Structure 1
């Protein structure tokens, strides 16, 4: 889609969204916050979990990269622990480092034993102190997503940089159907292998 930065875009439900990325993030966050308090959101989480379990049974990975959820995101860590996936594969949580004297902002995955995290990364998100692990399959939270398999996150670029450095990893975007939008793809944006929502599996 070739639109100017100020042109609005629409989702599949006909809602008009701002095209500028930060404005789009704010609009998506506001919509998700309102929706998250509804009974529909709880049902959607159950359905998304079913979709994810089915896909992982097909892929049979030996290791799985998770994430600790922010408000309104699918709780992949609790879901994996609840399904005892740690008995079938190695689990890992991301640890993000902010840019500084040590170098640019970066992220690594550390093996997670399923216990409640006792430390936080440099972005203040719960993580763990296990050995570094490169997961075969990565679960990626999506604030927004496109039908072509690109995601909109929170602007830090941590997942995009990690995926660019590990092109062989299967990246599964986890999203809510209401987050489907359109936006102009930028050079740093990394395509997901597949996007799962509570309603469908989108394989670009």
Structure 2
């Protein structure tokens, strides 16, 4: 077995990173470089692991994730929920759209407007036209900007403090930092993506909650 194929390499601190506390954010340039390299390797491993799931296993996990997510969302009348179009084996939240709308809520999709800039959110409902956006991810064809009350964010990896390892573009962090009022943010992923720490940096913004098929992690619970 190659070292990079060993899951233990990605579920515990990597070489050199054991010298820092999990919440440490005052790293020097050398440490930031080490963190960036570790994140890149972890990201590649976790995405590969996720994409190797069989269709049957993924369907079973998705049902469990969405059942927990329904309980977590609660009453949605008059509220807008930003979902995401699944990419590279992410859990699929699209089945919730009809339920959200039937419950008096509205849905939106995130849209990459420009590289290294915050995301925009545009309302969308089933049957409305979509077009291909960045990375060929579908986005609403007709712009209908909104500010969501709840944002569902896919996670590549996550830790018990609800910090999210994403794809490395920083879009969600920039978006949350730029929003005039922070929405409730729920990370969505599989339990196999849990890490002992993502080694959060000053720009990392934690999720309020992270939902997997096995558990619901709340930042307030972790902080107590």
What TM-score bracket applies, with the shorter chain setting the length?
0.7 to 0.9
Residue matched to 1:131 = 144
Shift of 1:57: 1.7
CA distance in 1, matches of 2:212, 2:132: 28
Shift of 1:130: 3.5
Residue matched to 1:112 = 124
Per the alignment, in what secondary structure is the counterpart of residue 97 of structure 1?
A: coil
Is the deviation greater in 83-92 or in 183-192? 83-92
Residue matched to 1:16 = 9
Shift of 1:121: 2.3
Preserved contact between residue 76 and residue 100 of structure 2 (Cα < 8 Å): no
Preserved contact between residue 194 and residue 203 of structure 1 (Cα < 8 Å): yes
Per the alignment, in what secondary structure is the counterpart of residue 94 of structure 1?
A: strand
Q: Which runs of 5+ in 2 are unaligned?
A: 15-34, 220-224
Q: CA RMSD in A?
A: 2.2
Residue matched to 1:39 = 56
Q: Which contiguous aligned blocks of 4+ residues in structure 1 show a shift greater than 3 angstroms? A: 58-61
1:183 to 189, 198, 204: 198
CA distance in 1, matches of 2:156, 2:48: 11
Preserved contact between residue 141 and residue 175 of structure 1 (Cα < 8 Å): yes
**Larger Rg over CA atoms:** 2
- Describe the shift of the 1:114–1:179 C-alpha distance in structure 2 as closer, same or farther (beyond 3 A): same
CA distance in 2, matches of 1:130, 1:84: 23
Preserved contact between residue 93 and residue 111 of structure 1 (Cα < 8 Å): yes
Q: Which runs of 5+ in 1 are unaligned?
A: 1-7
CA distance in 2, matches of 1:38, 1:119: 26
Q: Compare the two structures and name the one with the higher strand fraction.
A: 1
Q: Compare the two structures and name the one with the higher helix fraction.
A: 2
Q: Do structure 1's residue 145 and structure 2's residue 158 form an aligned pair?
A: yes
Residue matched to 1:4 = none
- Describe the shift of the 1:22–1:157 C-alpha distance in structure 2 as closer, same or farther (beyond 3 A): same
Matches within 5 A, 1:28-177: 28-34=46-52, 36-37=53-54, 39-57=56-74, 62-76=79-93, 78-81=94-97, 83-87=98-102, 88-99=104-115, 104-115=116-127, 117-128=129-140, 129-166=142-179, 167-177=181-191
CA distance in 1, matches of 2:198, 2:210: 16
Shift of 1:59: 6.4
Alignment coverage as a number of residue pairs? 186
- Describe the shift of the 1:22–1:52 C-alpha distance in structure 2 as closer, same or farther (beyond 3 A): same
**Structure 1-normalised TM-score?**
0.83
Shift of 1:116: 5.9
CA distance in 1, matches of 2:214, 2:78: 23
